[in-house]
Amino acid sequence: MKVHFAAVLLLFFINGFSCAQPVSGDTLYLTRKEAEALFLNNNLNLIAQKLSIQQAEAQIIQAKLWPNPEFSIGELNLWATKRQLSSGESLPPLAGNFGNNRQISAELEQLIETGGKRKKRIALESVSRDMAQQHFAELVREMKTGLRKNLYGLSYHQSFLLVLKTQHDALGQLLIGFENQYSQGNLNKTELFRLKALRLELGQQIVEAQKEIHQLQKELTVLLNIPAGSYLVADMPDPASAENPRRWSLSELVAMAHENRPDARISVMENTWAQKKYELEYAERKPDLTLGANYDRGGNFLRNFIGFGLKMDVPVFNRNQGAILDSRLGIERSRVGAEQKTKQIEAEVTLTFQDLQKSLEAYQSLDSACVSDLDQVFRVYTQYFVQRQISMLQYLDFFEAYLSNKRTIFLTIRQLRDNREELSYVTGTEIN
């Protein structure tokens, strides 16, 4: 009878262990490359940032344009009274019978910028366009890192949730047999309650894991711009297949960061922009010229007068002193900012590299044989428990150790992935 009872319980448990799978109607399985392709094509923040690059290019087009000439007409009399004509002076028509005794003046002016202001303005806007491109690259770098970390987090929680659900469902099957035996008086009530309490605890852990998954699902849905009802499943490769970052030295990684990070390039460009701004403001101290030509009919001693003129500001009070000083201080500020960025990059790379070494050591310390055999060992322990070869206390201790080991394995893998991704982020280079 006991042998038959143990066999039935073991059959229930094995079936529950093998059949527990998360089910969702609109499941979308994504590898990291597939998720990144969706992100680059669909993310609304990236689309908006691309438009800012086009805006910067439009500013270059605007800076290349010459000022429009100005044309004005004045001193036009719409009628002439008899009293005005009593002096005996009169004007012939302009054309046919039109314009008889009509006075008119016309003037055409063209602004000529001096000091190379137009070229300096083009150079300034060109640097702004280059900075917009680097800001786009920086946004991609930051958001791609967040995307990958969310995928790694999703993979961690989904993997552990599968373990929890598998154990929860299998434990439910085990409880069915134990409750039947308890009702027949063949089982201690305390043991039954201990198993029920364990199943309740597993249920709470499942709820917590599902909350974490829902939060990550929400963030990934926004990042990928996909329907909110989709259920994402992260298909992440084994980090053991990735390249070992130890082949790079710390000094090489720091050099890579200075060369490849968009924010490092932006700090250099900000200094260049400040230099170009100073050059433009310094050129503004030189007054521009306005060339003009005017025609006057009937308003001069000549009936049809054509004259030319030149106009310019006299730089007595305003020689753009304040703007020049402001731009000179901007150069110094950008230089200090570039130095600060250099120190920040070096500190970030150093600390991230050290963190990665610790994570790599933790991952390599995992016993691959133990990891692969852990589920099998748990099945054996369950068989021992069903056959009453071990006590309830021994089984529960091993149950907790099993879940703890599973969590540690998944967490170690996640930390290694996150640290590798962080090193890619701080160096601006793909560290697989």
| Alpha carbon of residue 218 to chain centroid | 16
Confidence label for 150 from pLDDT (cuts 50, 70 and 90):
very high
Residue 109's DSSP bridge partners are 70, 292
Q: How confident is the model at residue 1 (pLDDT cuts 50, 70, 90)?
A: very low
pLDDT of residue 21 exceeding 80: no
**Count of other CB atoms within 10 angstroms of residue 301:** 5
Q: Is the pLDDT of residue 410 over 70?
A: yes
pLDDT band for 175, please (50, 70, 90 cuts): confident
Residue 426 carries which side chain, given as an amino acid letter?
V
Question: Do 97 and 45 contact (CB within 8 A), yes or no?
Answer: no
Q: Report domain 2-67+115-285+321-427's class.
A: mainly alpha
Burial of 160 (0-12, 13-18, 19+ CB in 10 A): buried
Helix locations, 184-283, DSSP H: 189-224, 250-260, 262-283
- At 40 the three-state DSSP class reads helix
Q: What pLDDT, on a 0 to 100 scale, did the predictor assign at position 75?
A: 83
Q: Select from 129, 135, 427 the least CA-distant residue to 272.
A: 129
Which pLDDT score is estimated for 117? 94
Q: Tokens for 429, please give them.
A: 């280079």
Which contiguous run of DSSP H or E holds residue 346?
A: helix 321-364
Q: pLDDT value at position 244?
A: 58
Contact between 281 and 319 under an 8 Å Cβ cutoff? The reply is no
The CA–CA distances, whole Å, from 52 to 138, 265, 284 equal 14, 18, 28
Which residues, including other chains, have CB under 8 Å from residue 74's CB and lie 6 or more apart?
104, 105, 106, 107
Burial of 213: CB neighbours in 10 Å, binned 0-12, 13-18, 19+: buried
Tokens of 10: 């073991």
Please choose, from the candidates 12, 1, 4, the residue with its C-alpha nearest in 3D space to the C-alpha of residue 382: 12
Nearest to 192 by CA among 171, 175, 170, 211: 175
- Cα 252 versus chain centre, distance: 26
Residue 217 main-chain phi, psi, to 5 deg: -60, -40
pLDDT category at 239 given cuts 50, 70, 90 is low
Predicted pLDDT at 217: 94
Angle between helical axes of 117-183 and 44-64 (0-180°, round to 10): 180
pTM: 0.83
E strand residue ranges, 54-133: 70-74, 104-112
148: Cβ–Cβ under 8 A, 6 or more apart, which residues? 32, 36, 417, 421
**Are 381 and 390 in contact, with CB atoms under 8 Å apart?**
yes
Lowest model confidence (mean pLDDT) among 2-11, 160-169, 398-407: 2-11
- 342-386 pLDDT tens trace: 999 999 999 999 999 999 999 888 877 677 788 888 888 888 887
Give the closest residue to 148 by CA, choosing from 424, 420, 421, 378: 421
Mean pLDDT of the chain: 86
The secondary element (H helix, E strand) that includes residue 45 is helix 44-64
pLDDT per residue over 249-303, tens digit each?
Answer: 899 999 999 999 999 999 999 999 999 999 999 999 999 999 999 999 888 778 8
